Amino acid sequence: MSDSKDLTPASSGAPATTSDTQQALRPGAWPRAEVEHHLRRTDTDPRAQKRAVRQVSTMFLLSALMVVLFIVAFIAIPRDAVITLPYIGAIGALNAAMGVTFGLAIFLIGAGAVHWAKKLMSDVEVVQERHEMKTDADDTAVAADIYEVGKETSGFAKYPVIRRTMLLAMALVPIPFIVSLRDLWLTPPGVTTPSEELLVTLWKPGMRLVTDITYQPVRADDIPVGGLVNVVPADLPLVEEEEHNLNARAKAAAIVVRMTPDEIQSQQGEGWDYEGILAFSKICTHVGCPISLYQQRTHELLCPCHQSTFNLADSANVVFGPAARRMPQLPITVDDEGYLVAVSDFKEPVGPSFWELKESYS
Amino acid sequence: MSTSQISPVEQKGAGVATYLDERVGSNGFLRRNLNKVFPDHWSFMLGEVALYSFIVVLLSGVYLTLFFKPSMVEVIYDGPYIPLKGVKMSEAYDSALNISFEVRGGLLMRQIHHWAALFFMTAIAVHMFRVFFTGAFRKPREMNWVVGVSLAMVALMAGFSGYSLPDDLLSGTGLRIAEGIVLSIPIIGTWASFLLFGGEFPGTDFISRLYGIHILLIPGILLALITVHLMMVWVQKHTQFPGPARTNNNVVGYPLMPIYMAKAGGFFFLVFGIIVIIAGLVQLNPIWIFGPYTPDQVSAGTQPDWYIGWLDGALRVMPNWEIQAFGYTLSLNILIPALVIPGIITTLLIAYPFIEAWASGDKREHHLLDRPRDAPTRTALGVMAITFYVLLWIGGGNDIIAVGFDLSINSVIWALRISLIVLPPIAFVITKRICLALQRRDREKLLHGRETGQIMRMPNGEFLEIHAPLNEEERAKIIAKPQVKPLPQPPETDSSGVRNPKLKKDKRRAKISQFLFGDTIAAPTGEEIAHADEHLAHEVIEDAPVMAEEEALQIAHDGSVLESPGTSGKS
Ligand code: HEM
Ligand code: FES
């Protein structure tokens, strides 16, 4: 088969001609499978074959062209240019152009290769025999014997004390690494367990409630019935400045709502409201999302993460959803100037429950 | 058989091969492996998609590391995106914005990385279904199934750790939920959380810690597992679907060199190219819209990547059980959906091949795949699990459903809770019935041939449909149906009358075996098939004269055959 136009490798051969079946297989090649085989146009028609060759090389060529276009796009298109495409809408022109040119450059290589394989490479199925995975008995016996020799000559079986002490040592040796992980949390002075930190927040007696973004103190008179204000402790900006983290905010964030005093069915403490103004933690007792959706008609507070719902008019008890504890209430009053202040810290832990919680708080 | 001309380049190549061979003996390896045979089926490409998208993830990830700064140090944004100008944010978020707006090609790479991650996860899931429903996990491939399940779990962590990195509002919210879950772990929860976050949430350490995990630890584990996975596929050779010439002891397909080299290699470029084009045209995770993370803000209605959605759904549908005893709190409302259910699912997935092997007592190697209908209980169990999963996933969007269909969240949740208990068993029963019906049809086909759709009217006025013998392909598929018999009831006593000490255990095993393999439509025996073949051949021969007179039959407009007067006397 020296004819270069013959596309079928000797191992398989396309149509089963007599000469083909009589031909010895090349060493290492697999016999042809006894299945139906249909000749393709490219197997029989030299013109179809030529066309396929042209198609494949065109794809490779187009891929190269796409690389050129990519570079042009990279240089020519400004970063903020926007184009509007059908179905997709307005998108960044640079990103789209780079994605399409680079993507096509890659895609066309694949398309060319697959087309080549499908049209021009032999499509004759061959058969390879399988062998059981299991090693034959002789080799297994040799392996077992090598092990035996090792066991005997090392004395692994003979000296149990060596064996056991070695296993002990090996079992213990990772421990220093694990112990070294202890300081992943650099415990601040005066603190011994994590739960201590989780149980306190920045709020303390007399601390003003200020808005969460502009830090303006909140006047009781400024809150209309039905209104909601997001607040943080007045100290928060200072503390954040000092600590450079958001930890204090993650615990102390709160909301203030106002209802008419007769709408309040119950509170977590006697007189914790101020003329119908109630303050609650903003951090969901389920797994800690900040709660933002308040329905003033029903006084229900809904967590956007898993839809736990709390009734703020009724001690913020859980009405529905996966949260188990009510939202902690912050006792408030006003100072001499009429601004809202905390009476104390929260009396119940804010945020998600954890193992060390001693009471059920609801 | 002459060899073709050897070009100078090939000569150089041969030189290199010789150089290597003299040092590591590589030619023997090439000889053994270059002409390996691979069977062809579209579903065998699913694993390839997973592999190729993983490579894309690696490449694009390395690019991202050149620009991304995994730091929670506070900076003030001063980039070209006007809405965030002057806003305080972490350096991580700032650098992710830079990648998106200033670095040319940065947004493309971010989107390639994220799209490839989605392709990766999706391909893994569908690939796993393929392996499950065709029984490809049976001996000798159980270990590779276990590697595969581990890969799926680690891949999930890869995805979660990745989209938690940019420190935008969405990623921070995900982390907050993860922290809440860690807190709920009995005894060690608070310690675990404080060690992970370097103290209270969110702290300033977590992004840089997660970064190491995301770009080094997890990819390293994935790479190692993928290597083992592929080596096992290589050593054990690929399974194949039943078909003509295919047996349990051979592989029928195309040789690696050159067909698979071109097809699989080309397919890599196809997958890569498609991902890049999509990344150029379809935006995902527009982190600039969500804003920087802060623990007191949240955006409602945003969704995590699809592979996390089911966990979120499980958290949502769980009733709010919390146990308070002896001064400690056990948050079942979090533990069950976030840790117990995923734990059970993983364990069942890992255990399934071993359960089936134990219940069948089958120790043979299996290289021919089952058609899903031929293993009705397995298929039904799979569909049941998928139903459960999909319901949880729907649960992850319950707020969207409630708004979309104008329902109360309350009723959506209750509908889901009930569905989670009721629908999976219903799915099981229906699937099993469908499988058995398909088996019955196969049996019919084998015994009575394929319906040709040609109707013939007999001289006595009766209409008959002509049946033709099945083609080779179809016939081979049906005949390959495995004959798995459930284990028999164990004997109460052995031959010498001694009571079987393991009777209870054996009985349970027989029961599970009956459940898994008991229901099946008996395949025709060899004798029945031989008989049917003979009959069919007969039918065809007898019909032949009728066919020959086809001109005489008029074909009605609706395709039925009318008899022309001239043929009526024929017997
Ligand atoms: C193995 C599977 C991996 C998966 C499933 C995965 C997934 C993700 C995802 C979903 C994101 C969020 C991207 C976004 O939308 O902003 C991400 C971010 C990132 N990944 Fe990966 N990743 C993987 C491996 C890697 C590797 C190997 C590297 C580096 C060698 C890497 C480097 C990064 C970096 C630097 C980011 C943050 C950049 C940014 O968000 O702008 N990833 N990853
Ligand atoms: S965090 Fe609020 S319901 Fe889950």
Interior/surface letters A10-38, b for 16+ CB within 10 angstroms, e for the rest: ebbbbeeeeeeeeeeeeeeebebbebebe
pLDDT (average), residues A131-136: 91
**What is the structure's pLDDT at A1?**
33
CA B210, B211, B217, B218 dihedral sign is positive
Q: How far apart are CA A180 and CA A183, in angstroms?
A: 7
For chain B, domains (ranges, CATH) are: 57-370 (1.20.810.10), 449-481+523-568 (no CATH)
CA B311, B315, B317, B318 dihedral sign is positive
φ, ψ of residue B76 to 5 degrees: the values are -105, 130
Do B245 and A64 contact (CB within 8 A), yes or no? no
Q: How far apart are CA B262 and CA B131, in angstroms?
A: 25
Do B297 and A290 contact (CB within 8 A), yes or no? yes
Low-confidence ranges of chain B (pLDDT < 50): 1-2, 544-571
The 10s digit of each residue's pLDDT in A95-111 is 999 999 999 999 999 99
- State the amino acid at position B531 in one-letter form: H
**What is the structure's pLDDT at B496?**
79
DSSP code at position A184: G
Backbone φ/ψ region at A331: left (φ over 0), alpha (ψ -120 to 50), beta:
beta
Which tokens sit at B25? 């003996």
Rg for chain A, CA atoms, rounded: 38
Give the helix/strand (H/E) hosting A58.
helix A46-76
The 10s digit of each residue's pLDDT in A245-297 is 999 999 999 999 999 999 999 999 999 999 999 999 999 999 999 998 899 89
Give the helix/strand (H/E) hosting B314.
helix B306-317
**What is the structure's pLDDT at A17?**
40
Q: Minimal CA–CA distance to B488: which of B517, B522, B525, B524?
A: B517
For chain A, domains (ranges, CATH) are: 18-183 (no CATH), 194-361 (2.102.10.10)
Substitution target in B231, B271, B308, B329 with the highest count of A β-carbons within 10 Å is B329
Question: What three-state secondary structure class fits A342?
Answer: strand
Do B395 and B317 contact (CB within 8 A), yes or no? yes
**What is the structure's pLDDT at A70?**
98
A293 touches chain B (CB under 8 A): yes
State the complex-level ipTM.
Answer: 0.90
**CA distances in angstroms from B312 to A327, B273, B316, B502, B568, listed in the order given:** 21, 32, 6, 44, 72
Question: What three-state secondary structure class fits A295?
Answer: strand
Environment class of A51 (CB within 10 Å of its CB; exposed 0-12, middle 13-18, buried 19+): middle
**CA distances in angstroms from B479 to B26, B240, B247, B360, B470, listed in the order given:** 43, 15, 11, 21, 11
DSSP code at position A181: G
Nearest to A354 among B183, B195, B243 (CB): B183
Q: Which residues pair with B39 in a beta bridge?
A: none
Number of the ligand 1 atom closest to the C-alpha atom of B99: 41
Ligand 2 in contact with A283 (CB < 6 A)?
A: no
DSSP code at position A90: E
A214 touches chain B (CB under 8 A): no
% of residues, chain A, pLDDT over 70: 92
Question: What three-state secondary structure class fits B454?
Answer: strand
B536-545: Cβ within 8 A, 24+ apart: B536/B448, B536/B449, B536/B467, B536/B468, B536/B469, B537/B469, B539/B449, B539/B466, B539/B467, B540/B468, B540/B469, B543/B456, B543/B466, B545/B570
Our CA-based measurement puts residue A159 at a distance from the nearest CA of chain B, in whole angstroms, of 35
Q: How far apart are CA A153 and CA A149, in angstroms?
A: 6
Q: How far apart are CA B466 and CA B543, in angstroms?
A: 8
Do A202 and A248 contact (CB within 8 A), yes or no? yes
Number of the ligand 2 atom closest to the C-alpha atom of A291: 2
**What is the structure's pLDDT at B556?**
42
The 10s digit of each residue's pLDDT in B282-315 is 999 999 998 999 999 987 667 788 999 999 999 9
Do B133 and B382 contact (CB within 8 A), yes or no? yes
How many Cα atoms within 13 Å fall on the side-chain side of residue A268?
Answer: 22
Q: How far apart are CA B282 and CA B118, in angstroms?
A: 13
Give the helix/strand (H/E) hosting B359.
helix B341-360
Length of chain A: 362
Q: B173: which chain A residues are within 8 Å (Cβ-Cβ)?
A: 289, 305
Among chain B residues, the shortest Cα distance to A70 is held by B105
A178-181: Cβ within 8 A, 24+ apart: A181/B195
**CA distances in angstroms from B478 to B364, B396, B516, listed in the order given:** 21, 41, 20
Strands (E), B82-184: 88-90
Confidence of residue A27 (pLDDT cuts 50, 70, 90): low
Interface of A with B in 75-114 (CB under 8 A): 79-80, 85, 88, 91-92, 94-100, 102-114
Question: What three-state secondary structure class fits A232?
Answer: strand
Q: How far apart are CA B117 and CA B54, in angstroms?
A: 7
DSSP of B270-293: HHHHHHHHHHHHS----HHHH-B-
Q: Which residues pair with A83 in a beta bridge?
A: A91
φ, ψ of residue A111 to 5 degrees: the values are -60, -40
**What is the structure's pLDDT at B3?**
56
Q: How far apart are CA A104 and CA A87, in angstroms?
A: 20
pLDDT (average), residues A67-87: 94
DSSP code at position B64: H
**What is the structure's pLDDT at B540?**
56
DSSP of A122-154: ----EEEE---SSPPHHHHHHHHHHHHHHHHHH
A191 touches chain B (CB under 8 A): no
How many Cα atoms within 13 Å fall on the side-chain side of residue B335?
Answer: 16
Which ligand neighbours the alpha carbon of B123 most closely? 1
Q: Which residues pair with A333 in a beta bridge?
A: A341
Contact A354 B331 (CB under 8 A): yes
pTM for this one?
Answer: 0.89
Q: How far apart are CA A285 and CA A291, in angstroms?
A: 10
Do B169 and B297 contact (CB within 8 A), yes or no? yes
Q: How far apart are CA A14 and CA A37, in angstroms?
A: 8
Do A66 and A105 contact (CB within 8 A), yes or no? yes
Start-end of H helices in B449-569: 472-479, 503-517, 526-548
Pocket test for ligand 2, best of A287, A318, A319 (most atoms within 8 A of CB): A287
Q: How far apart are CA A321 and CA B319, in angstroms?
A: 7
**What is the structure's pLDDT at B258?**
87
pLDDT (average), residues A162-175: 96
**CA distances in angstroms from A298 to A258, A292, B405, listed in the order given:** 13, 15, 21
Contact A109 B298 (CB under 8 A): no
The alpha carbon torsion through B34, B37, B41, B44 (nearest 10 deg) reads -60
Q: Minimal CA–CA distance to B332: which of A348, B201, B416, B324?
A: B324
Our CA-based measurement puts residue B36 at a distance from the nearest CA of chain A, in whole angstroms, of 8
Which tokens sit at B223? 């790479």
Q: How far apart are CA B180 and CA B312, in angstroms?
A: 13
Answer yes or no: is pLDDT of A176 > 90: yes
Could you give the maximum distance between any two Cα atoms of chain B, in Å?
A: 99
Interface of A with B in 322-341 (CB under 8 A): 322-325
- State the amino acid at position B178 in one-letter form: A
Which tokens sit at B33? 């492996």
The 10s digit of each residue's pLDDT in A187-237 is 999 999 999 999 999 999 999 999 999 999 999 999 999 999 999 999 999
